[in-house]
Structure 1
Amino acid sequence: MAARLAVAASERGSASLEFLTVGIILLVPLVYLVLAVAAIQGGALAVEGAARQAARIAVQASAEGAADAAVDRAVRVTLADYGVDADAASVTIECSAADCLEPGSRIRVSVVARVSLPLVPDFLALEAVGSVPLEASATQTVSRFARSGS
């Protein structure tokens, strides 16, 4: 009986230490998961917003050359607002008609960007490991009154 009491006394407080150890081991990956999901969600919102704004600007342009420059500027500004590297993003513009600015034609803008995962060191930030590719597209129709004043 005295031996049991001596063993119980020597283990006093070890349950709280084990609880803290297991808690930390489970908490660190959970916090990283929340940070990673937040970064990916922010990137998804950035890419979607950039595609939507670029499509809106593309249908309101007066000439195709001006539309390309305005779309590029809109994508860069929108991605920069969300902290996404705009230099690594790619933009694709597709038209339903031969003349993109013909009234009634549809313009589809696709934006592809890579979002870096948080807390990944630079030497491990490989293209496939340290970032997630995100893509969004938006379609707008050129107004039928777009060239009525010309």
Structure 2
Amino acid sequence: MRETQSARRALGETGSAALEFIVAGLLLLVPVVYLVVSLGLIQEQSLGVEAGARHIARSVSSAPDAVTAATRARAALATVVGEYGLDRDSVRIEMSCRPAGAACPEAGVTLIVTLSAKVSLPLIPPVLGLDRLATVPVEASAMQRVSQFWGAP
């Protein structure tokens, strides 16, 4: 038995498909777009800390002395922070050398540079400190052998 248009109206099945599509589309589309934007920011900052750690390790390990190494490290960090849009206040650098107990940096040691930062999620209001809570930490490490000619005249 076929339902007629009048029978559907009597059952209350008159709806607006366009309105239902718009509402359902918005309810599904907005979170997906937010997720894509957030993951894009996290990926960008992850690449930034990885590049920063690698460039700082290279610039320090190839420097002829400690003063030049510090200058090169600051320049590399400033470049990476500007290029990848890292939050300068949340960026942390740790340098260590292996073998343990060796002066850092010193000729022949392995330099380990760890760079970390926090990614703030978009559209989070600074109400009650929510913007500080809605962050994702990213971290990267790079190892580089210091030249045997480190500090040589």
> Which of the five TM-score ranges fits, normalised by the shorter chain?
0.7 to 0.9
Q: Which amino acid aligns with 1:51?
A: A
Partner residue in 1 for 2:47: 45
Partner residue in 1 for 2:24: 22
Q: 8 Å contact 2:124–2:131 — kept in the other structure?
A: no
Structural mapping, 1:72-83, within 5 Å: 72-83=74-85
Partner residue in 2 for 1:7: 10
Distance in 2 (alpha carbons) for counterparts of 1:34 and 1:105: 42
2:114 pairs with 1:110: yes
Partner residue in 2 for 1:32: 34
Alpha-carbon shift at residue 5 of structure 1 (Å): 5.5
Alpha-carbon shift at residue 10 of structure 1 (Å): 7.3
Alignment TM-score, normalising by the size of structure 2: 0.82
Partner residue in 1 for 2:126: 122
Q: Deviations over 1:55-96 (max 9, x none)?
A: 001101222243233213311220221111123211011012
Aligned residues: 147
Partner residue in 1 for 2:96: 94
SS across alignment from 1:49 = helix
Distance in 2 (alpha carbons) for counterparts of 1:137 and 1:114: 15
Q: Which amino acid aligns with 1:36?
A: S
**Alignment gaps of 5+ in structure 2:** none
Q: Which amino acid aligns with 2:88?
A: A
Structure 1: 4+ residue segments shifted above 6 A:
none
- RMSD of equivalent CA atoms: 2.5
**Alignment gaps of 5+ in structure 1:** none
Distance in 2 (alpha carbons) for counterparts of 1:112 and 1:2: 64
Alpha-carbon shift at residue 109 of structure 1 (Å): 0.5
Given candidates 19, 42, 66, the residue that maps to 2:68 is 66
